[in-house]
Amino acid sequence: MMRGPAAAASGAGASFPGLAERLSLVESEIQEAAREAGRHAEDITTIVVTKFQPPGMVRALAQLGITNMGESRHQEALGKVAQLSDLGITWHFVGQVQGKKARQIASYARVIHSVDRVSVLDAIGSTERSTSVFLQLNLTDDPARGGVQFEDLPALAEYALSTPGIDVRGVMAVAPLGGDARGAFAQVAQASKRLQSVAPEATEISAGMSGDFREAILEGATHLRIGTAITGNRPSAG
Ligand SMILES: *Cc1c(COP(=O)(O)O)cnc(C)c1O
C-alpha cells in the first residue's frame, strides 16, 4: 500500500505511516504488562523519546494525545522546543548532561532524568524555576555510561535534597546492553528503596525502553522512555 505525496501532505499523522498503530500496540503491551504485574497502567507515564526525529513527528504524536516527550541532545532539543511551543508538551531530558549546558537544559526541560553529579545539581538549582530530577544509576562498571554507582547514590541524594530548586523524583537507569534486563531492573528497584531511605518522597523509577519496558514494568517502573517502538527507526545521526 503506497502512500503518495498527496496523502503525506494531508495531515501530520499521514506523514508518519504506522505511527498511530505502533503507539496503540505499545500502549496495549503496557496495559498487559501492568496487568501481569498487578499494577494500574494509569500509574505508568510513557515518555516518547523523539531524538533524531523531525519536529513534525512530535506534532503528530501530540495530535495522538502524547504530552510527555523525551530528548537526549541539548542542541537538537532546543530547536524543537522553540518550534513546538504551542503544543503544551512536557519535555524530559534523558541524555547525558554536560555541566556547562545544564542550566540551559533546565530552562525547557521540566524533568531531567540523567543527573549523576553535584555540579549538574548546582547548575540546575541555580535557575529560577524548580526542576524535577531523577538520579541516574550506572548498572555497569564503565564510568562512560553515565550514572552513579549504587553505593554513591545516598550521598548524591542528600546533596540533591539540600539544593534549592531541585525536586528529587526518583532513580533512573538504562539496562546494560545484551544483559538480563529483569535482573538489572530488580537492582534498580533495590536502589529506589535505598534512595527512599534518604528521600522518602522520591518513589518514582524511570526505566524501560523499547526493548525492555515489560521487564521494567514488572520491576516497578513508573516512567518509561520509549523511542523506536513508537517512532519507528531513527533517521541516521547525520
Ligand atoms: C534513546 C533513549 C531511549 C529510547 O530508546 P529506544 O530504544 O529507542 O526506545 C531511552 N532512554 C535513553 C536514555 C535514551 O537515550
Asked whether the predicted pLDDT for residue 5 surpasses 90, the reply is no
pLDDT attached to residue 13: 58
Would 145 be classed as within a structural domain? yes
What is the residue-averaged pLDDT of the chain? 93
Q: Which of 49, 111, 223 to mutate to test the pocket of ligand 1 (most atoms within 8 A of CB)?
A: 49
Would 237 be classed as within a structural domain? no
> Which three three-digit cell numbers place residue 180?
538480563
Please compute Rg for the chain using Cα positions. Answer: 18
What's the number of CA atoms in the CB half-sphere (13 Å) around residue 164?
A: 4
How far apart are the C-alpha atoms of 62 and 110, rounded to whole Å? 17
Would 94 be classed as within a structural domain? yes
59 contacts 84 by C-beta, under 8 angstroms: yes
DSSP β-bridge partners for residue 171 = 135, 205
Task: Report the CATH number at residue 78.
Answer: 3.20.20.10
pLDDT attached to residue 235: 87
Mean pLDDT, residues 133-145: 95
Binding site membership of 69 for ligand 1 (Cβ less than 6 Å): no
Q: Which of 214, 225, 226 to mutate to test the pocket of ligand 1 (most atoms within 8 A of CB)?
A: 225
pLDDT attached to residue 148: 97
pLDDT attached to residue 39: 98
Asked whether the predicted pLDDT for residue 124 surpasses 80, the reply is yes
Would 146 be classed as within a structural domain? yes
How close is the Cα of 5 to the center of ligand 1, in Å?
Answer: 30
Would 199 be classed as within a structural domain? yes
Band (pLDDT 50/70/90 cuts) for residue 50 is very high
pLDDT, tens digit, 9 for 90 and up, residues 156-215 = 999 999 999 999 999 999 999 989 999 999 999 999 999 999 999 999 999 999 999 999
Would 16 be classed as within a structural domain? yes
> Which three three-digit cell numbers place residue 162?
539540600
Domain count, the chain: 1
Binding site membership of 223 for ligand 1 (Cβ less than 6 Å): no
Binding site membership of 160 for ligand 1 (Cβ less than 6 Å): no
Binding site membership of 49 for ligand 1 (Cβ less than 6 Å): yes
Range of the domain at 68: 5-231
Q: At what angle do helices 19-37 and 55-63 cross, to 10 degrees?
A: 60
pTM: 0.94
Would 238 be classed as within a structural domain? no
45 contacts 132 by C-beta, under 8 angstroms: no
pLDDT attached to residue 10: 44
